[in-house]
């Protein structure tokens, strides 16, 4: 966090103007496009009014907010976000056009960006009694990763385990695809499939691995206290997950051989939510 402290010192005033691409704050913020710098700084980049506003409202620790001089005079929405930032410790940097372009990660930059601190999650945050957990075994596509985490939150999963070697959940594309779930949804990084399985066993979760061959998802018990494992887009889940654990598949008609990892996972997670709600209704009815 030493480098991040230098970033804070560079923007001590609440609103400052920066015109040089060689400015220390601009250079360090631009470095967050690379994972090694995100890891070293413990920070990541948020882009766009919706995400920056939500981060502030969620109490995410925002170090810097960046906008362009034109955006301040043209967009009421930006000024509203900056007024919201006045209640935080965020430094607001008004950048020249070339400085703003240096930080942005897309060819059509959003009018506002922010540097946020990564949140540290504990095992107890990811695992809840009876809760379901998503396990992502080296998912490579950051868009898939963000979508998977977003869907897990939407279907009531308590958290996710990410196995080392996949896309970074704090990368720009994953953050955008996650649509804010990175601010709230508990994540833990596991160094290997073996470590993930050991943790799942310790937490007494029933492991179901998505596979081409297995129990049809409508027949598998996915309602509660399960871990749903989604494998790498090209190679599927590690063999360790399939050994001595359940395998679950999405039944398909016609000649389609497989589904996109994000689509298959979404079906499994929504089937899990459907089963859970069906059980809840049955239990509620039994008490009448």
| pLDDT the model gives residue 194 | 96
Nearest to 117 by CA among 3, 23, 2, 4: 4
pLDDT at 288 over 50: no
What pLDDT does residue 77 have? 83
Give this prediction's pTM: 0.87
pLDDT at position 2, please?
Answer: 38
Domains, the chain, in order of start with CATH, read 2-117 (3.30.1330.30), 123-286 (3.40.1280.10)
pLDDT winner (highest mean) among 107-111, 155-159, 235-239, 278-282: 155-159
Over residues 227-243, mean pLDDT: 92
Mean pLDDT of 9-25: 74
Q: What is the 3-state secondary structure (H, E, C) of the chain?
A: CHHHHHHHHHCCCCEEEECCCCCHHHHHHHHCCCHHHHHHHCEEEEECHHHHHHHHHCCCCEEEEEEEHHHHHHCHHHHHHHHHHCCCCCEEEEECHHHHHHHCCCCCCCCEEEEEECCCCCHHHHCCCCCCEEEECCCCCHHHHHHHHHHHHHCCCCEEEEECCCCCCCCHHHHHHHCCHHHCCCEEEECCHHHHHHHHHHCCCEEEEEEEEEEECCCCCCCCCEEEEECECCCECCHHHHCCCEEEECCCCCCCCCCCHHHHHHHHHHHHHHHHHHHHHHHHHHCC
Split at pLDDT 50, 70, 90, the class of 4 is very low
Q: How confident is the model at residue 1 (pLDDT cuts 50, 70, 90)?
A: very low
The mean per-residue pLDDT over the stretch 77-92 comes to: 83
Mean pLDDT within 214-237: 93
Report CA torsion sign: 231, 236, 241, 245.
Answer: positive
Tell me, what's the pLDDT at 233? 86
Distance CA 12, CA 6 (A): 10
Q: Work out the mean pLDDT of the chain and round it to a whole number.
A: 88
Q: Is a pLDDT exceeding 80 seen at residue 127? A: yes
Confidence of residue 14 (pLDDT cuts 50, 70, 90): low
Rounded to the nearest 10°, the torsion over CA 175, 179, 182, 184 is 170
When comparing pLDDT for 100 and 12, which is higher? 100
Q: What are phi and psi of 4, to 5 degrees?
A: -65, -35
**Range in 7-11, 77-81, 168-172 the model is least confident about:** 7-11
List the strands of the sheet with 206-216, edge to edge: 187-190, 159-163, 133-136, 226-230, 206-216, 246-249
């Amino acid at each position: 966090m030493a480098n991040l402290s230098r970033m804070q010192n560079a923007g001590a005033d609440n609103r400052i103007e920066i015109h040089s691409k060689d400015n220390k704050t601009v250079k360090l913020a631009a470095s967050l496009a690379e994972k090694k710098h995100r890891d070293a700084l413990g920070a990541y980049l948020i882009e766009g009014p919706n995400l920056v506003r939500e981060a502030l409202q969620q109490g995410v620790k925002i170090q810097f907010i960046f906008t362009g001089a034109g955006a301040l005079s043209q967009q009421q929405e930006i000024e509203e976000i900056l007024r919201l930032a006045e209640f935080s410790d965020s430094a607001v940097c008004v950048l020249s056009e070339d400085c703003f372009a240096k930080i942005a990660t897309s060819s059509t930059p959003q009018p506002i960006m922010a540097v946020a601190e990564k949140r540290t999650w504990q095992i107890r945050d990811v695992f809840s009694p009876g809760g379901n957990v998503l396990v992502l075994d080296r998912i490579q596509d950051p868009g898939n990763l963000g979508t998977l985490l977003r869907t897990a939150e939407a279907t009531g999963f308590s958290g996710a385990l990410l196995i080392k070697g996949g896309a970074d959940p704090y990368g720009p594309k994953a953050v955008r695809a996650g649509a804010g779930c990175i601010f709230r949804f508990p994540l833990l990084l596991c160094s290997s499939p073996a470590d993930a399985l050991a943790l799942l066993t310790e937490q007494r979760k029933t492991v179901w691995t998505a596979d081409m061959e297995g129990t049809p998802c409508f027949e598998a018990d996915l309602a509660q206290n399960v871990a749903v494992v989604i494998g790498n887009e090209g190679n599927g889940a590690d063999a360790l997950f399939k050994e001595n654990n359940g395998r679950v598949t999405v039944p398909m008609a016609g000649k389609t051989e497989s589904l996109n990892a994000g689509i298959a996972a979404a079906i499994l997670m929504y089937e899990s939510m459907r089963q859970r709600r069906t059980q809840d209704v049955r239990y509620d009815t039994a008490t009448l």
